[in-house]
């Protein structure tokens, strides 16, 4: 059964009636621009064909009940629990967080029954959390007829994650999941939230993006992510700028010379050069030079490995094996310490590159990776 049918069937079975509608939101990968979003910088993610679907209908008692195929027990909560971050935990916190963010923004959120099914793997760094937040947000906005323009959705979904769930993430994931467009990468200025849809025509260039799920156990990912973010904020303060976005590449050496320790210098160098790599990638894509972006992707990986220090052995192995097998570029995508790698490859070579990565994993005794090729797909939609 496909994911939309699973959500519908789950809804019927759990609640004994038909849903009023179904809303689908994708996972995402980031083509380039890592740990730049919370530094007010640039990112270039795209939405995946893998989606989370929420089937929903209004609940007259004004409460929220959520069932997920991942967990047979439904979770029920009312306004009191939604208004107190932390009261609802586990996967349902993403749902309660959206209710919380909408109520905090002054909306009269309709009570609802929801059923969730998903093809976005959880814990792989493909933004399963942004997918469920965004699908639930779209459902509640529609069911309640709420006056909330779509440009404001990413910020609200991010607030659900930051303030209710308690993860200090940036605006990239929710933006990609909500504003992504088929055949395009989303060039986002995270300071102004201005977006430009950049044509990313893989088929036309006879190329493919291979995504490798490293299956690496997440090693202290949450704590390390928060530490990187704090480190960047301290560095910006030390340099007297609002955010590291304000350090131009041309001023990098001068900025580094003003910083006391080597670790901070390397963190800053990653962010400043990564912002420039996003701009350079966008320029190449605008010129239709998709293949030529490969070296920028690889340089981004090297910067994450050596300067930002957020990669792990499985991830580095996947990148090296993909490059040795002929990928034009390869890099970790997402927050780091596990998650996925993406590689830009000839369309006809995707299977061979995937096999080479799998073999390199076996040689090192790692758990076999997952592999799939993906095309940029559309953001959150109502299915009917």
- Residue 338 engages ligand GLA in binding (rule: CB under 6 A): no
Residue 307 is a binding residue for ligand GLA (CB under 6 A): no
Q: Which is nearer to ligand GLA, 34 or 307 (CB)?
A: 34
Return the SS3 of 14: helix
Minimum CB distance to ligand GLA, residue 157 (Å): 11
| 244 touching ligand GLA, by CB under 6 A | no
Helices (H) and strands (E) in the chain, counts: 12, 13
> Helices marked H in 118-261 — which ranges?
128-144, 153-159, 172-179, 221-239, 252-257
Q: Which two tokens stand for residue 247?
A: 């350090």
Query: Which of 40, 173, 213, 307 does the annotation list as catalytic?
Result: 173
Q: Does 274 bind ligand GLA (CB under 6 A)?
A: no
Q: Which of 297, 125, 120 is nearest to 216 (CA)?
A: 125
Give me the least distance between CB of 206 and ligand GLA, in Å please. 29
Window contacting ligand GLA (CB under 6 A); options: 170-178, 246-254, 261-269, 281-289: 170-178
CB-wise, 29 or 115, nearer to ligand GLA?
A: 29
Give me Rg for the CA atoms of the chain: 21
Contact between 42 and ligand GLA by CB under 6 A: the answer reads: no
The footprint of ligand GLA on residues 173-192 (CB under 6 A) is 173
Token pair listed for 296: 């920028």
Per the annotation, binding residues for Mg(2+) are: 129, 161
- Contact by Cβ (8 Å): 32, 279: no
Sheet of 112-118, strand order: 71-77, 64-68, 112-118, 45-58, 21-30, 381-382
Per the structure block, which two tokens stand in for 137? 């947000």
Which range in 105-113, 166-174, 294-302, 351-359 contacts ligand GLA by CB under 6 A?
166-174
Give the number of other CB atoms < 10 A from CB of residue 153: 24
Which residue in 96, 75, 91, 67 sits closest to 7, CA to CA? 67
Beta carbons within 10 angstroms of residue 201's beta carbon: 14
Which CA distances in Å does 282 have to 43, 161, 248, 275, 329? 10, 28, 17, 11, 15
Q: Is 38 in the site for ligand GLA (CB under 6 A)?
A: yes
Q: Does 329 bind ligand GLA (CB under 6 A)?
A: no
Is 213 one of the catalytic residues?
no
Choice from 22, 23, 24, 35 touching ligand GLA (CB under 6 A): 35
Under the criterion CB under 6 A, does residue 133 sit at the interface with ligand GLA? Answer: no
Q: What are phi and psi of 71, to 5 degrees?
A: -155, 110
Q: How many residues bind to ligand GLA according to rule CB under 6 A? A: 10
Site stretch for ligand GLA (CB under 6 A), options 30-38, 51-59, 145-153, 211-219: 30-38
Alpha carbons 370 and 44: distance in angstroms, whole number: 23
Structure tokens at 379: 């953001």
308 forms part of the interface with ligand GLA (CB under 6 A): no
Does residue 10 touch ligand GLA according to CB under 6 A?
no
Give the range of 33-41, 113-121, 258-266, 357-365 binding ligand GLA by CB under 6 A. Answer: 33-41
Cβ at position 251, least distance to ligand GLA in Å = 23
Site for ligand GLA contains 40 (CB under 6 A): no
Identify whether the C-beta of residue 293 lies closer than 8 Å to the C-beta of residue 308.
no
Residues annotated in a binding site for ATP: 68, 123-129
Of 26, 27, 85, 170, the residue at the interface with ligand GLA (CB under 6 A) is 170
Which of 222, 316 has the CB closer to ligand GLA? 222
Cα torsion 123, 39, 199, 159: sign: positive
Assess 335 for contact with ligand GLA (CB under 6 A): yes
Active site residue ranges: 173
Name the residues that contact ligand GLA, by CB under 6 A.
Answer: 34-35, 37-38, 169-170, 172-173, 334-335
């Amino acid at each position: 059964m496909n994911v939309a049918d699973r959500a519908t069937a789950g809804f019927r079975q759990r609640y004994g009636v038909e849903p009023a509608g179904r809303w689908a939101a994708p996972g995402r990968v980031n083509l380039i621009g890592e740990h730049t979003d919370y530094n007010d910088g640039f990112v270039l993610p795209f939405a995946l064909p893998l989606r989370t679907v929420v089937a929903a209908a209004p609940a007259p008692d004004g409460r929220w009940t959520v069932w997920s195929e991942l967990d047979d027990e439904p979770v029920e909560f009312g306004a009191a629990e939604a208004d107190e971050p932390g009261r609802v935990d586990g996967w349902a916190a993403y749902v309660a967080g959206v209710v919380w963010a909408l109520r905090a923004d002054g909306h009269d959120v309709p009570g609802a029954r929801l059923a969730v099914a998903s093809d976005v793997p959880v814990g792989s760094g493909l933004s399963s959390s942004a997918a469920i937040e965004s699908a639930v947000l779209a459902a509640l906005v529609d069911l309640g007829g709420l006056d909330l323009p779509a440009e404001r959705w990413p910020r609200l979904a991010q607030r659900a994650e930051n303030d209710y769930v308690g993860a200090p993430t940036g605006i990239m994931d929710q933006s990609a999941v909500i504003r992504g467009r088929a055949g395009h990468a989303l060039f986002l200025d995270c300071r102004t939230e201005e977006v430009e849809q950049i044509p990313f025509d893989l088929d036309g260039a006879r190329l493919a993006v291979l995504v490798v799920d490293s299956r690496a156990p997440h090693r202290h990912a949450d704590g390390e992510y928060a530490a990187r973010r704090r480190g960047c904020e301290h560095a910006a303060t030390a340099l007297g700028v609002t955010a590291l976005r304000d350090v131009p590449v041309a001023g990098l050496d001068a900025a580094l010379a003003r910083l006391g320790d080597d670790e901070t210098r390397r963190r800053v160098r990653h962010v400043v050069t990564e912002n420039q790599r996003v701009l350079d990638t966008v320029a190449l894509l605008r010129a239709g030079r998709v293949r030529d972006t490969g070296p920028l992707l690889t340089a981004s990986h090297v910067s994450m490995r050596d300067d930002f220090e957020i990669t792990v052995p499985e991830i580095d192995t996947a990148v090296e094996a993909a490059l040795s097998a002929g990928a034009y570029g390869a890099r970790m995508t997402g927050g780091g310490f596990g998650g996925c790698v993406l590689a830009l490859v000839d369309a006809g070579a995707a299977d061979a590159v995937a096999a080479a990565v799998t073999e390199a994993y076996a040689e090192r005794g790692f758990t076999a990776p997952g592999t799939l090729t993906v095309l940029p797909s559309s953001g959150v939609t109502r299915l009917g």
